[in-house]
Amino acid sequence: MWHNQAILTETEFVLQGRLGELERLTAETAKFCREHSLGDEMEFDLNLVLEELFTNSVRHGGCAGMENAVLVRLQLLDHAVLVEFADRGTPFDPLTAPVPNIEATLEERGVGGLGVHLVRQIMRDLEYRRADGWNRLTMQRPC
Amino acid sequence: MIQLTQETKSGWCVVGVSGRADSEAADELEGALRAALELHAKVAANLAALEYISSAGLRAVIQAARAAQAKNAEFAVCSLSAAVQRVFDMSGMHHIMRIHGELPC
């Protein structure tokens, strides 16, 4: 009966291509963090990173209106949470996206790119690949 | 979910922002700040009860700051929680606007 007591360190959920899914994204992230006693800052960061990626996919990545557009996987490692964000939208590598100038003044400041900038600030070991019609981004948030 | 309140105090219009300023709530936030700026020369956004903000919420604040600048109004962003402050810091918001520890009124 030992196998029944194995601790599940992984969670996976699918999102439809509409912003209304943000509520579920937030709830799933909170549940994962609660189950693993991960604390408020981790929950905030995972929620933020996933919202930024999901919103980009829906607004700019061709996922709007798409069924089962996004797959999110969260896994607890020894010293980090491994996040995989996959979407079926148009090919887009966020790691090659232009970096916004965050030292710009109000007049010079562009409004784009801030979301990806936050993802890159918070996460480590980001890797992107395009395979079988999916954009797959894997990354880690240290504990 | 975002909750917005508005009150006038010592010549300032204070917009109270609580809850979550995410992609879904950003338009509502920008609308409330712009509406206050339409009618008042001094507007303070009280973020003390704001639990969460993403780039969409930051963009709403930036657009409000631009609207304030265009009409020469005072716009003060105040009382950030530690979590929200961290997102402001990572985004370089202090290069764009003054962030106040407390309400100016």
Average pLDDT over residues A101-125: 87
ipTM of the prediction: 0.94
Residue type, A32: F
Reference B22, options A6, A47, A99; nearest CA is: A47
- Top-confidence residue, A3 or A27: A27
Alpha carbon of A41 to those of A19, A34, B41, B50: distances in Å? 23, 12, 36, 15
| Inside any domain, residue B105 | no
Task: Check CB contact of A104 with chain B, cutoff 8 Å.
Answer: yes
Contact B92 A102 (CB under 8 A): yes
Full residue range of the structural domain in which residue B35 is found:
2-100
At A113 the pLDDT is 87
At A101 the pLDDT is 86
Segment B25-77, tens digit of pLDDT: 999 999 999 999 999 999 999 999 999 999 999 999 999 999 999 999 999 99
At A10 the pLDDT is 92
Average pLDDT over residues B21-26: 97
Rounded CA-CA distance A112/A19 in Å is: 18
At A110 the pLDDT is 72
Tell me the three state secondary structure of residue B63.
Answer: helix
Radius of gyration in angstroms for the set of CA atoms belonging to chain B, rounded to a whole number: 12
Segment (H or E) for A119: helix A114-122
Task: Beginning with the edge strand found earlier in the chain, give each strand of the sheet holding A134-142 in spatial order.
Answer: A10-15, A70-76, A80-87, A134-142, A124-131
- In this predicted structure, the answer to whether residue A111 has a pLDDT above a threshold of 80 is no
| Inside any domain, residue B75 | yes
CATH number for B78:
3.30.750.24
Task: Beginning with the edge strand found earlier in the chain, give each strand of the sheet holding B2-9 in spatial order.
Answer: B2-9, B12-21, B42-53, B74-78, B99-100
Rounded CA-CA distance B60/B29 in Å is: 6
Q: How many domains does chain B have?
A: 1
Helix A40-59, helix A22-35: angle, nearest 10: 150
Segment B67-98, tens digit of pLDDT: 999 999 999 999 999 999 999 999 999 999 98
| Inside any domain, residue B34 | yes
- In this predicted structure, the answer to whether residue A90 has a pLDDT above a threshold of 80 is yes
What residues of chain A lie within 8 A of the CB of B58, using their CB?
114
Average pLDDT over residues A79-95: 96
Reference B37, options B12, B10, B4, B3; nearest CA is: B12
Task: Check CB contact of A30 with chain B, cutoff 8 Å.
Answer: no
- In this predicted structure, the answer to whether residue A1 has a pLDDT above a threshold of 80 is no
- In this predicted structure, the answer to whether residue A3 has a pLDDT above a threshold of 70 is no
- In this predicted structure, the answer to whether residue A2 has a pLDDT above a threshold of 70 is no
| Inside any domain, residue B36 | yes
Mode of pairing for the β-strands spanning B12-21 and B2-9 = antiparallel
Tell me the whole-structure pTM to 2 decimals.
0.94
% chain A with pLDDT above 90: 81
Residues 6 or more apart whose CB falls under 8 angstroms from that of A17 comprise: A57, A58, A63, A64, A65, A66, A67, A69, A70
Between positions 6 and 25 of A, the ones with CB within 8 A of B are 19-20, 22-23
Rounded CA-CA distance B75/B61 in Å is: 10
- Give how far A113 is from chain B: nearest CA, Å: 9
| Inside any domain, residue B50 | yes
For residue A46, name the pLDDT band (cuts at 50, 70, 90): very high
At A49 the pLDDT is 98
